[in-house]
Amino acid sequence: MTDRLKFAGFKIERLPTAECRARVTLMSLDGTKFEAEARGLTSETGELRCAAQAALLALAQAFREPAFELVGVKAVRAFDATVVIVSLGVPGQRGAPRVVGSYLTERDAPRGAALAVLNATNRLLVRSRPAKR
């Protein structure tokens, strides 16, 4: 049995203030929900960063360590599809190896950014137990 979290929900809102708000919901096997929200600029890159950051904040609720920070996120066309790639680092550890995750999407690149974060971290976090709330 694994302790991986399930991607339970994603929502992005484009606000009239030229900002976006992304909400990511993760769920543990026992049904505990971890939900986080992030804000960013309404642009292609801004929405990707916002969604990836919301996923990282939800993961931080579920797992105390290791902590991750968003180094970068990008959507690229490859193999006749859009691939969202994220690069994550460990805060305060200069020279520490980065982890990279990707997600193939056609319609919703911000959602793909959130899923790419999970793909980058799932093998590292599977051995840990979710934190008790």
Whether 106 is in a domain gets the answer yes
* Upstream peptide bond of 66 is cis (omega within 30 degrees of 0): yes
Whether 130 is in a domain gets the answer no
Query: Into how many domains does the chain fold?
Result: 1
Whether 133 is in a domain gets the answer no
pTM of the model: 0.88
Q: Which residues sit opposite 102 in a β-bridge?
A: 85
Whether 132 is in a domain gets the answer no
Domain of residue 61, residue span: 6-125
Task: Give 16-50 pLDDT, tens digit per residue.
Answer: 999 999 999 999 988 999 999 999 999 999 999 99
Whether 1 is in a domain gets the answer no
Task: Give 46-85 pLDDT, tens digit per residue.
Answer: 999 999 999 999 999 998 777 899 999 999 999 889 999 9
Angstrom distance (rounded) from CA 33 to CA 62: 9
Does residue 114 have a pLDDT over 60? yes
Sort strands 99-105 and 81-89 into parallel, antiparallel or unpaired. antiparallel
Q: With contact defined as beta carbons under 8 Å apart, do 84 and 105 qualify?
A: yes
Nearest residue to 111 (alpha-carbon basis) of 39, 23, 17: 23
CATH of the domain at 68: 3.30.160.270
